[in-house]
Structure 1
Amino acid sequence: MNTKSKLVKTLSAAAVAAAALCAAAPAMAQEARIAAVNSERILRDSQPAKAAQVKLEQEFSKRDRELQDMAQKIKGMADKLDKDTAVLADSDRQRRQREVADLDREFQRKQREFREDLNQRRNEELAQVLERANRVIRSIAEQRKYDLIVQEAVYVNPRIDITDDVMKALNAGGK
């Protein structure tokens, strides 16, 4: 066999192999089942997320009211001080300014603690909702034989979005 016929035979074999790979590639791609879930929507609109929000509001409403009352008191004291400044002796004016400043510092501290506590509790509650959602997502993935479920994406074709199914399962109790 000469070199030319070996080359033709090798190129023919390569062409057949390439054609086989091209024909097999779409079949392999069709086997992968992919879905997407909008986690933000679940954490915002699902019944467990809404229940967590109500729980947080109940838990923190008293402290929130106390802070609002304190802010009103400070505003009232500051307004009264501004109104009375012209008729107050220097020592009285300074004493009342100090009282307003001290109360304002205490208010700022309590407000900061309130925000920190609220954020920590919100994170704890949302973590529980997300954990339940992930269990539901895994369950759906196993039932429907998905190979990949993506939770964050730039774009999701509505055809592969299973967020509604996850929300229904979560709202039904997380099965």
Structure 2
Amino acid sequence: MWRTISGAAVLGTALLVGSSAWAQEAAVRIGFVNTDRMLREADPAKTAQTKLEQEFSRREKEIDDAGAALKTASERFERESPTMSESQRVTRQRQLMDQDREFQRKRREFQEDLNARKQEELQHILDRANRVVKQVAEAEKYDVILQEAVYINPRLDITDKVLKALNASK
């Protein structure tokens, strides 16, 4: 009888120790990084935004000026058209249409160039941020870092740590 009890005790102890070790090994550290917040608040993102604004401000002003000139010419045509001859009216309409087409083309090219540069800068920032996230995860022994989720408990959010590390790494 003692043999059965001591065997059961040894087996129970082994199961307890084994399950305790398994539980410790199975504990997974999970973290979450809010990518949108990181792209809004990180110094490299702010620097990139300023850089883009400086790079494209002159072209944007030129397009705004061209739009204002087109509007002014159109308004002047509307005022003066009743007193114009038919051939003058047709000629001015063609000029306005050509001017509008050129304005639309320049605006479209500007928007395409701006979007392409934004994507380049965004990709550069995301690559850098992902390296920092990986460094934080390895340093603090995280098993998984999520960047998108429907719901995250705020205690899992490591965005502040990542922002601090990202802002510190120049």
Question: TM-score band, normalised by the shorter chain?
Answer: 0.7 to 0.9
User: 4+ runs of 1 displaced by more than 4 Å?
Assistant: 23-26
Aligned with 2:92 (options 93, 96, 117): 96
Separation in 2, partners of 1:138, 1:85: 67
Separation in 1, partners of 2:26, 2:106: 58
The answer as to 2:39 corresponding to 1:43 is yes
Separation in 1, partners of 2:140, 2:41: 24
Question: Structure 2: where are the runs of 5+ without partners?
Answer: 1-11
Pair 1:147–1:82, CA change in 2 (3 A): same
1:37-116 mapped onto 2 (5 Å cutoff): 37-116=33-112
Separation in 1, partners of 2:92, 2:83: 13
The answer as to 2:27 corresponding to 1:27 is no
**TM-aligned CA deviation for residue 173 of structure 1:** 1.8
The answer as to 2:165 corresponding to 1:169 is yes
Separation in 2, partners of 1:95, 1:45: 53
**TM-aligned CA deviation for residue 44 of structure 1:** 1.5
CA deviations 1:26-72 (Å, max 9, x no partner) are 82585211100001111121110010000000000000000000000
Per the normalisation by structure 1, the TM-score is 0.83
- The DSSP-based 3-state class of the residue aligned with 2:145 is strand
Instruction: Count the aligned residue pairs.
Output: 155
Aligned with 1:122 (options 102, 106, 118): 118
Aligned sequence identity (%): 51
Separation in 1, partners of 2:70, 2:103: 9
Separation in 2, partners of 1:25, 1:156: 28
Question: Structure 1: where are the runs of 5+ without partners?
Answer: 1-15
Separation in 2, partners of 1:158, 1:29: 24
CA deviations 1:68-116 (Å, max 9, x no partner) are 0000010010000000011001111111111110010011111111111
Separation in 2, partners of 1:30, 1:67: 60
Separation in 1, partners of 2:152, 2:133: 16
Separation in 1, partners of 2:122, 2:145: 20
- Equivalent AA in structure 2 for residue 144 of structure 1: E
